Amino acid sequence: MKLLKDLLYDVRIDEIQGTTHLAVEGLSNDSRTTKPMGLFVAITGTLVDGHNYISQAILKGATSIVCEHIPSEITRPESVTFVIVKDSSSAIGHIASAYYDFPTHEMKVVAVTGTNGKTTIVTLLHRLFRMLDKKTGLIGTVEHRINDKVEVSAHTTPDALTLQALFHKMVLAGCKICFIEASSHAIDQNRLSGTRLSGAVFTNITHDHLDYHKTFDNYITAKKKLFDGLPSNAFAIVNSDESHFEDIISDCKADVSTFGLTSMADNKGRIIENQLQGLHLHIDGQDLYSRLVGEFNASNLLAIYSVAKLLNVDPLNALTQMSLLTPPPGRFEIVESPDGITAIVDYAHTPDALENVLSTISTFRSGGERLITVVGCGGDRDVTKRPIMAQVAAFGSDQVFLTSDNPRTEDPNDILAEMQSGLDPKNKRKCISITDRKEAIRAAAAFAESGDIIVVAGKGHETYQEINGIRHDFDDRVILREAFTTA
């Protein structure tokens, strides 16, 4: 690996039919002359197989090929070196890490995984450590950050090349800690290969991503893989309130600790008060007053506290600074109308997340106000959760507007029909389907009266709506404010 670093100095990423091509120019240490080189890593993807494009890569200048096998139709030029590996998707992360001088050996990287809570925990951990004057990186769904500099985020967890490049930038900026969201897709696709983790956090696991993982057991296995790979000198923090937490750590070599609200745990919390204005928690014998709302956020705060302690932050100082934290964008974000209607925009796009939001709101209700929910389901994603999402919305609301989310390449009316299939006659009567999401939000705002609560779920922080491959400007919060102004 060091020899590769000595030879290669300028990297760019090209796309060859959807596969990643690490295009490189090299400097010969002997002649000190520049010559073109190229390293092509053939990865078997979900849609295309990079091995089918090895010949094309050679024609484009690749002189080294990393692959799992050499297709029989390929003529092997003497000038091209083939490196056979067991798993190309894992190899590319180690290659990129070596190229960037093993950046995660220079800082502590903590990965957070789970169906819900990843973005909140990672974002607030980054804010907390910046408040503590620590140089800190963030890699997440909403954005990436190098200290306070924002980098564009295209995926929850970037591909291995982009990830190692980001880590390298963080090291150059003096970062000593990085918090990263680890999606199940990323873990399964080895995007974290080559990354040395100092710790990992498990939040929860519920119904999601079965379009990709096919079965719930496969989904659990993907999450578990993150913890199976932790070294013995790392830490693992798991939510003991979750029924599958023992499965996640069954083969974990790291030092395991737990957090929980309702179960026995190393870091135990208790909700004293839960209101729309925030939470009052009791943690390790101390009071924490937080602007975050809901039992699910109480669990997130416990996870943050647990990480801070293991990263050697004084517990009382951690709680003091945590009291100043505010929710990330699009996570239980409140938009109020001039005439007393409260709207809550939340990223909740799984049945469990939506149920958490609706049940949290139910604890605030005095009885006279109505709860109105606007919700849809994304296209080209897990279809099995669609009827369940409608059931959860109808069960927890007085009125529901079923609508589009990001339909992507699917007909939104087909998605709505699949959501409606989960409703019994009683719940169907409280649901109205409006395909256009903007019109659905406007209808909910027009339907609501002073004191009512509107939940707009599914997109949260997103500022676009994806339809047939095109991203159109769309922000639930902006639409709500416009609707309240014109109502």
3-state secondary structure of 208: coil
Task: Give the pLDDT confidence score for residue 38 in this predicted structure.
Answer: 82
- pLDDT attached to residue 9: 32
Domains, the chain, ordered by start: 2-98 (3.40.1390.10), 102-322 (3.40.1190.10), 333-486 (3.90.190.20)
Alpha helices in 208-363 (DSSP H): 210-213, 216-228, 245-248, 295-310, 315-322, 351-362
- The one-letter code for the residue type at 62 is A
Q: What is the pLDDT along the chain (487 residues), one digit of tens a residue?
A: 333 333 333 333 333 333 344 443 333 333 333 444 588 999 988 788 999 999 988 888 889 999 999 999 888 888 899 999 999 999 999 999 999 999 999 999 999 999 889 999 999 999 999 999 999 999 998 899 999 999 877 676 889 999 999 999 999 999 999 999 999 889 989 999 999 999 999 999 875 555 565 687 888 888 899 999 999 999 999 999 998 899 999 999 999 999 999 999 999 999 999 998 899 999 999 999 999 999 999 999 999 999 999 999 999 999 999 999 999 999 999 999 999 999 999 999 999 899 999 999 998 888 889 999 999 999 999 899 999 999 999 999 999 999 999 999 999 999 999 999 999 999 999 999 999 999 999 999 999 999 999 999 999 999 999 999 999 999 999 999 999 998 6
What per-residue confidence (pLDDT) applies to 364?
Answer: 86
The three-state secondary structure class of 46 is: coil
Task: Quickly count: other Cβ atoms within 10 Å of residue 71's Cβ.
Answer: 13
| Structure-token match 């009885």, residue found | 367
CB 297 within 8 A of CB 271: no
Bridge-based pairing of strands 267-275 and 255-260 is parallel
Q: Report the C-alpha gap between 270 and 240 in whole angstroms.
A: 14
CA torsion angle 196 208 298 226 (round to 10): -20
Q: What pLDDT sits at residue 35?
A: 44
Instruction: Give 273-280 contacts, CB < 8 A, sequence gap 24+.
Output: 274/298, 274/360, 274/363, 275/364, 276/334, 276/342, 276/364
The pLDDT value given to residue 123: 97
402 close to 430: Cβ distance less than 8 angstroms: no
pLDDT (0 to 100) of residue 214? 63
The pair of structure tokens assigned to 43 is 């990865």
Structure confidence at residue 398 (pLDDT):
97
What is the value of pTM for the model shown?
0.85
- Two tokens, residue 376: 């849809």
Angle between helices 412-420 and 386-396 (to 10 degrees): 60
What is the rounded distance in angstroms from the CA atom of residue 457 to the CA atom of residue 216?
A: 24
**Residue 296's Cα: distance from chain center in Å?**
16
